[in-house]
Amino acid sequence: MSNNFLDYLLRIRLPITVFVVLTSFAVTYFISRAERDGVGYTPDQPIAFSHALHAGQMGIDCQYCHTSVEKSRHASIPQVATCMNCHSIARKDRPEIIKLTNSYNSGKKLSWERIHKVPDYAYFSHASHVNKGIQCQSCHGNVELMDKVGQVNSFTMAACLDCHRNPEAKMPYLKSVNKGPDYCWACHR
């Protein structure tokens, strides 16, 4: 074995091999983290709205704001006017409420950061789930305890199917529950 060849092995082959192995490992690790599915994602919102205060402490029902959750696919983010039902009087002087009032009065858009998302090709319906008695918390976690909302559960197809196949285990609070559908066109079309 010539020195040249050893030199080549050590200087070129080895680093490349090590690099490829490390990169593959890093990429695989990175992709397969639960965080990659969005778990733990807690972005800053344009207005520091606290669910813990409104839904937890004051006990406002989820549907006071998320009005279409029983009727439609989308739970819907409340219109600014809904906030103003109370905040045209309540806590008008707080900086966050001033932001809200400004947006309401000027008609300028209020862009909330999206936290929970299923891909476009999955047609999830809130109404179908909520009307079967499934609680919001089963997917979204204890939002009423969160000052700043983040994603608690994974929103992958595996997570959906996990629940569809073992509803009794996942939602023990339901007295009688059927298995959810697990054929393709239940969600994709």
Partner 1 sequence: MSELNNNNDSHKQQNDPHYWRSFEELQNDSGFKKIKENEFLEGVTKDFDPNTDINGVSRRKFLALLGASAALAGAGCSDYRDKGEIIPYNKQPEEVTLGLPNYYASTCTGCEQSCGILIKTREGRPIKVTGNPQHPVNKGKICSKGEASILNLYDPSRIQYPSKNSNGFLNEVLWTDADNAVISALLTAGSKEIALITNQITSPTFLKLISDFKTKYPTTRVYTVRQFNESVRKAAWEKCYPGSQVPLIQWDKAKVIVALEGDFLGKEGNLVENNRLFVQNRNVDDVKNFSRLYAVEGNFSLTGLNADHRFRLRPDKQTEFVLALTQYLVASKGVQLPGSLSSLASVISKFDLNKFCDENGISFNDISNMASDLVNNRGRSIIYAGSALSEKTHVAVNLLNEILGNTAVYNTASSAVELTQPSAFSEFETLVSSLNSGNVALVMTLDCNPVYNLPEDLGLKDALKKSGLFVSLTEQLNETASLSNYVLPINHNFESWGDAQTRTGVYSLMQPVIAPLYNTRQKESILLNWLKGDPKNYDERGYHNYLKENWAVSVFPKSMSLASFEKYWLGSLHDGYNLFNEAPVFKLTLNAVATESLTSIETDYQGFVVLITEGTATGDGKFAGNGWLQENPHPVSKVTWDNYAAVSYKTSKEFNLKTGDVLEIKSEKGALKIPALIQPGLADNFISIETGYGRSNSSVVANGVGYNANVLLSKSFTTSPWMFGSVAVSVTGEFRQIVSTQDHHAFEDEMIADQHLKRNIIREATVAQYMRDPHIIHHGGHELHTLYADHEYPEVKWAMSIDLNKCTGCGQCVVACNSENNIPIVGKDQVAAGREMQWIKIDRYYSGSPDNPSAKLQPMLCQHCDNAPCENVCPVAATTHSPDGLNQMVYNRCVGTRYCANNCPYKVRRYNFFNFREHFADGYQLSPSFELIANPEVTVRSRGVMEKCTFCIQRISDARMVAATENRKIKGDDVTTACQEACGTEAIVFGDMNDKESKISKLREHNLGYHLLEELNTRPNVTYIAKLTNTYSEEV
**Residue 158 binds to partner 1 (criterion: CB under 8 A):** no
Per CB under 8 A, 176 contacts partner 1: no
| Distance separating alpha carbons of residues 189 and 122, to the nearest angstrom | 8
Task: Determine if 41 is a binding residue for partner 1 (CB under 8 A).
Answer: yes
Q: Within 13 Å, how many C-alpha atoms sit on residue 101's CB side?
A: 13
d(CA 121, CA 47): 30
What is the DSSP secondary-structure string of 60-89? --HHHHSGGGGTSS---PPPHHHHHHHHTT
If one asks whether residue 101 binds partner 1 (CB under 8 A), the answer comes out as no
| Segment lying near partner 1 (by CB under 8 A), choices 12-20, 49-57, 63-71, 140-148 | 63-71
Contact call for residue 175 and partner 1 (CB under 8 A) = no
The whole-angstrom separation of Cα 149 and Cα 115 is 8
- Span from 13-21, 67-75, 140-148, 163-171 in contact with partner 1 (CB under 8 A): 67-75
Report the interface residues with partner 1, using CB under 8 A.
35-36, 38, 41, 43, 67-68, 70-74, 76-81, 103-104, 107-117, 120-121, 123, 125, 127-128, 131-132, 181, 183-186, 188-189
